[in-house]
Amino acid sequence: MTTSLETFLLIAPEIALVVAALVVFLAGAFANLQSGWPVAVAGIAIAMFLSGGTPDDGGTVTSGPVSIDGFSLGVRWLVLVLGGILALVQSGDTFRTATSRSGTALRWGTCEEAGTFLLLLAGLSLVGVANDLVLLFAGLELVSIPTYILLALKRIDARGQEASLKYFFLSLVASALFLYALVCLYGIGGSTSLAEISARLRSPDDRLAGMATVLLPVALGMAMSGAAFRLAAVPMHFYAPDVYEGTSPGNAALLSTLPKVAGIVVLLRLLALGTGGAFGMAGAQAAVAGPAATAYMTLFWQLAAILAGLTMTVGNVMALLQTNLRRLLACSSIAHAGYLLVGVATAAAADSALSGRLVPGTDTSWTSGLGGSSATLFYLATYVLATAGVFAALTYLGHRWPEWSATAGSRPPREEISTVDDLNGLSGTNPVAACSIALFLLSLAGIPPLPGFWGKLSLAITALEVDWNSSATWGSRRAAFLALAILLVINAAIAAAYYLRIIAAMYFRSTKRGVQADGGIAAGLAMLICMALLIVVTFQPRGLFAASSRAGRVISAPTGTLVAPQVVSP
């Protein structure tokens, strides 16, 4: 593993992000730059320019700890587009108390916020390209640490501080657990290179099996927990409602999207260790997978499936009782982490029979050839689009006046829009925002023909395709995935209840209280961009399907013959 100039060329977009971050930091401190967000958006645009066109099919370029393939390019594009939207949201999202109505007094943090945000994006993109345990972990920490700062910067009241502290400590626990998982993987592979770990894991060496029975459960359990924190999945989901409620809508937009991308990317990268797909294995090396790899994959899908079932259900039933909007959306984001884990489990269960259907270049119909990982990525994209859109709209709406009549004395201070009831009658006061929120929520609920529906449909279909030809006897893999698909559908039905409650509040209730819409034009623009993208995907989902299919195929590349799992006593 040597690092050369080529390595830096490969991660030019990430470097551009970091450079832009440095420029913002310095300009804010020394050049009296008023707002860092324009620079941030410019930096993202440059990074987009540098990352070039769409990912090529199949090719993998590895240099040092960095590996560029269809997957990492897909992730990079997702991160950059999402980053652009979130930058717009964040720029309008400043914490203003009633006393400083204009808000100018507290805009001092804008350059720091913008720079930190750029670093976060760079970290997330690095997670996508990492081909090495160290870079993977460094990337993840580069996601976490800026998040702490952003949480702490945005809100300086007690609740905001409580939220950022909660996030900080629990995130540390999760990082520690994840680091432990990486140590175990190093123990198995004897190297920090993912490709080498994969090669060793897949080697048909019986001596490995003994070690695997000890190390693999620990490694996978810890890794899954680390990812679960970022996904806000059971058992690391507790923080989400408290933190979302305590922080600003813009930060909630960030928390509900970027860490989830990180979690899914990490899980799929680790999954690729078993399939060997992402590491350009060919010939004899790819043809056979050893018992350790088989055990790894089996553990992976079982774990993901259990967490998926729990997470979906817990998130949705919790959301049913929420009246606070951000708490509700936090619970909803937990539920969506569950749906995403269904896709991860499906991807892990993909064996040669299923992978055999993934013939590159021939899948004109989206249902054939969309593996679990592709479905996950598709769902991830539709989810982040809709969620970022909702929070963009909430940021844009900002505050509203409390009920007040001229005879009742002086006008009370404005209130932040925080509960479902605060949205009452929005269709009358701000029809565009109401319509777009309704669209985002309907997409999240999975109502056809919105993108969320395509996502849930592909997740359910790929889950049902697991072991399609075998019978669903009790305890079989097919039965498990059948149950998972059914649970997904039931959960989607439960979820519709609370999404529709918000829509009903906006459209069927009336109010005398006006909405301020003081969150800035940028947030409104972000909302409209999300809506436009949503509508495009609604009517032409094939493009996004093709893109996620290209990226996902890297993970679930043909795995060769998996050797039947052998039970070896240590």
| Choice from 81, 85, 135, 234 touching other proteins (CB under 8 A) | 234
Helix (H) or strand (E) holding 562: strand 561-562
Size of the site for other proteins (CB under 8 A): 43
528 forms part of the interface with other proteins (CB under 8 A)? no
Region binding other proteins by CB under 8 A among candidate stretches 8-16, 133-141, 308-316, 356-364: 308-316
Q: How many CA atoms within 13 Å lie on the side-chain side of 504?
A: 6
Q: How far apart are CA 459 and CA 382, in angstroms?
A: 12
By rule CB under 8 A, what string of x and - marks binding of each residue 245-284 to other proteins? Answer: ----------------------------------------
**SS3 per-residue string spanning 120-156:** HHHHHHHHHHECEHHHHHHHHHHHHHHHHHHHHHHCC
CB 40 within 8 A of CB 87: yes
Nearer to other proteins, 35 or 298 (CB): 298
Q: Which is nearer to other proteins, 191 or 213 (CB)?
A: 213
313 in contact with other proteins (CB under 8 A): yes
Member of 27, 106, 145, 218 binding other proteins (CB under 8 A):
218
**Binding of residue 500 to other proteins (CB under 8 A):** no
Q: What tokens does 330 get?
A: 């936090």
User: Distance from CA of residue 307 to its chain's centroid?
Assistant: 16
Which runs of E-coded beta strand occur in 254-395?
288-289
Residues 481 and 466 sit within 8 Å (Cβ to Cβ): yes
Least Å distance, CB 324 to other proteins, is 12
Pick 203 or 213: Cβ nearer other proteins: 213
Measure the CA–CA gap between 335 and 281, rounded to whole angstroms. Answer: 35
Nearer to other proteins, 292 or 434 (CB): 292
Rg (CA), the chain: 23
Question: Which one, 214 or 532, has the nearer CB to other proteins?
Answer: 214
SS3 for 275-302, per residue?
A: HCHHHCCCCHHHHEECHHHHHHHHHHHH
- 236 touching other proteins, by CB under 8 A: yes
473 is a site residue for other proteins (CB under 8 A): no
Determine, following the binding rule CB under 8 A, whether residue 314 of this chain makes contact with other proteins: yes
Rounded to whole angstroms, the Cα distance separating 141 from 163 reads 19
The least CB distance from residue 360 to other proteins, in Å, is: 25
Distance CA 520, CA 514 (A): 17
Q: According to CB under 8 A, which one of 25, 37, 71, 229 is a site residue for other proteins?
A: 229
Query: What is the DSSP track for 194-234?
Result: HHHHHHHHHS--HHHHHHHHHHHHHHHHHHHHHHHHHHT-T
Distance CA 23, CA 524 (A): 27
Contact call for residue 295 and other proteins (CB under 8 A): yes
Dihedral sign for Cα atoms in the order 191, 195, 201, 203: negative
Taking CB under 8 A as the rule, does residue 107 contact other proteins? no
Min dist CB 358 to other proteins, Å, is 24
**Per-residue contact string for residues 135-174; x = within reach of other proteins by CB under 8 A:** ------------------------------xx--xx--xx
Is residue 302 a contact residue for other proteins (CB under 8 A)? yes
The correct pick among 54, 213, 285, 419 for binding other proteins (CB under 8 A) is 213
| Residues numbered 40-59 forming contacts with other proteins, rule: CB under 8 A | none
Q: Which chain residues interact with other proteins by CB under 8 A?
A: 165-166, 169-170, 173-174, 177, 213-214, 216-218, 220-222, 224-225, 229, 234-236, 238-239, 241-242, 295, 299, 302-303, 306-307, 313-314, 316-321, 494, 497, 567, 569
